[in-house]
Structure 1
Amino acid sequence: MKLTYTKVALTAALLTASMLAHAQDKSAHISDGIVKIGVLTDMNGPFMDNVGKGSVVATAIAIEEFGGKVLGYPIQMVTADHQNKADVGSARVREWFDRDQVDAATELGNSAVALSAMRLAQEKGRMSIVTGAGAVRISNEDCTPNNLHWVYDTYSLAKVGTQSVVKGGAKTWYYLTADYAFGHSLENDGKQFIEAAGGKVLGSSRYPFPGSDFASYILKAQGSKANAVAIATAGLDLQNAIKQGKEFGLASGGQKTVAMLMSIMDVHGVGLKDAGGMLFAESFYWDLDDASRAFARKFFERTKRMPTALQAGQYSAVLNYLKAIEKAKSDNVADVMKAIKSMPIQDAFAKNGKVRGDGKMIHDMYLVRVKTPQESKAAWDYYTVLETVPGEQAFHPIADSKCSLVKS
């Protein structure tokens, strides 16, 4: 009888603790009693493996780690495909804000889509959290007080990813660039750092995005005799360009292929035989430390693949957005932004992170080398981290910012 009573008492205590943990904080200000997060991503296009369903899974993991509630109020997620079209993305975000009471539009893995969503978020008094797009202008000249720019930008990718290659002997470069905002930004930032390191860009070809046939552009790159051919695109386009470059003999002709933005899914798609030895900048690797491995295990259980940097960054951004709401006791944009800018950001994705006045979250970046098939010891054992670059060195200096939020 005593044992039964103890079990009942323990069960009651646990239930009470659970109810208290999820009780609504009456001092909190949560608009309409729900925190609703919209994940606008590329579900079926060239970036679907880098973001897409994986970013939805990453968001779900962050929400679950919060217990599905913040300050006792439920957290909900809605998702949509922007189809890599700014008008499609803008229409959906407007619908989310006007009809569905979405508090934050996130992921936004296309720079044109992200810029349109940011403007709407400011107009409607909501938040935008860009984790999948990298144009520098997102947190520079087009910054807004309602936006966070979380994972990476073309400045950090170019700085970390080109200077070591130039110093290693690749003094002349040719660019194969996606003809839209993100590709232009990758090329322009890369040129800046190539020249700063003593190199020279001999020329570039811009292709209509998305594309699949890169033959004519690769022939122009070969004709340039440049030491390195930089591919300023991402996702399936990047994979196809690398494979076609291999077929046309770029490497056998002595030209290095340099990816300006490459993910672990791109390496997986290309294969270690063709990608082995490539150097590029990364913002996350699943096998970096205990925290990254713990998140990766959760992600792998649901997807049977390891997370990309953009998917891990989406998890981090949502997790810290919820922490900021908890800290501010409000989902009001100004309150959340003030809270998140005062918080250290340290999790499975971000190391030594902080959000600056321009909304940019700066954190450690990495120079990685893709392992050869002989070096890889297990499934998804793809990277060797050669260098860790602190965020203050990797990202655009705040003193040079054109963001109206920080200009003196």
Structure 2
Amino acid sequence: MEYTWRWFGPDDPVTLGEIRQAGATGIVTALHEIPNGQVWPVEAIAERKRLIEAAGLTWSVVESVPVHEAIKQGLPEAGGYIDNYRRTLANLGECGIDVVCYNFMPVLDWTRTDLAWPLPGGGTALRFDQTAFAVFDLHLLERDGAQADYSEAEREAARRHFEALDDAARTSLIDTIIAGLPGTEEHYTLERFREALDAYRGIDADTLRRHLRQFLAAIVPAAEAAGIRLAIHPDDPPRELLGLPRVVSTAEDAQYVLDSAPSPANGLTFCTGSYGVREDNDLVVMAERFAPHVHFVHLRATRREPNPASFHEAGHLDGDVDMVGVISALVREQRRRRREVGQRLPMRPDHGHQLLDDLTRESRPGYPLIGRLKGLAELRGVELAVERLLPAV
């Protein structure tokens, strides 16, 4: 596979030089400074590409071109934002960039409740704790209807947890959930967040799914014309949150995306960490089933906790993901592509523990240098072993 690395632009504490030393050859990035819904100009794309290439790397994947909330909500102004999306794809294609990752999660992008959960051996991990999230929903956000989404035991656990938090801890929890994690393009105050949730009243999963289908019908032809492969990222976590529907969480959801606009340009980001949170998602079976439609791969492992709604980021070869089985399926797909279409399969080590020097240097939550370097080295080792052990073709 092609080894890539997520980089958040010139302000990222991890430099392009360090990324190259880590063993990656491709960069996964976006023009985060451009507001959602606006066109990415050719000049800005070309300048970022020149910066990356000057460091001896290539701009492999865009992650992400965000989908405006008006599109997800099916508002009258959605047409203008779709036109802008098409123009951005055309401009990226003109600059030779051919894979675009995106997601269709309403309001929130990926969500965690703890950005530095202590690990037994030292270091820290990202974590989603269901009780802490219920505290936010029930006692800090005070969302209408939230009580019905939790069992009596969950509500009682949340009450006790809330009462044990001081003001600083409560503020930290709010900021962690709504202030925006790396790659998130929208940043909210608590009041603005309530307004964003209110905008989805009356939009259920079927409605959101219909809006996704309409988006794909409009965007996929533009991607085809631009020579771009679209790769939708699954929901993270892969289930409804805060009363918001989520429609890219299971194998059935992934199949719906592919069936909605059949085209080589319409494909998937196979994120083992996101899909792996659900016990009913068999990652190896999914990798084998969807391999021809996978345009981008995020390899990480999550581990479900005794409360199965809670999970944390495990080591890349630990957790609930059969990483050897997944990589075996992807290696077979990469071999097929080499024989038949000559198409690359970009992979990046997603997230990572904060380890060693990561604990004292500045880094973005989930995206430290050493933790991801360790993950990339482990994943490359698995891939090499699989390549050697699979029969030659």
Same fold (TM over 0.5): no
**Larger Rg, first or second structure (1 or 2):** 1
TM-score, structure 2 normalization: 0.30
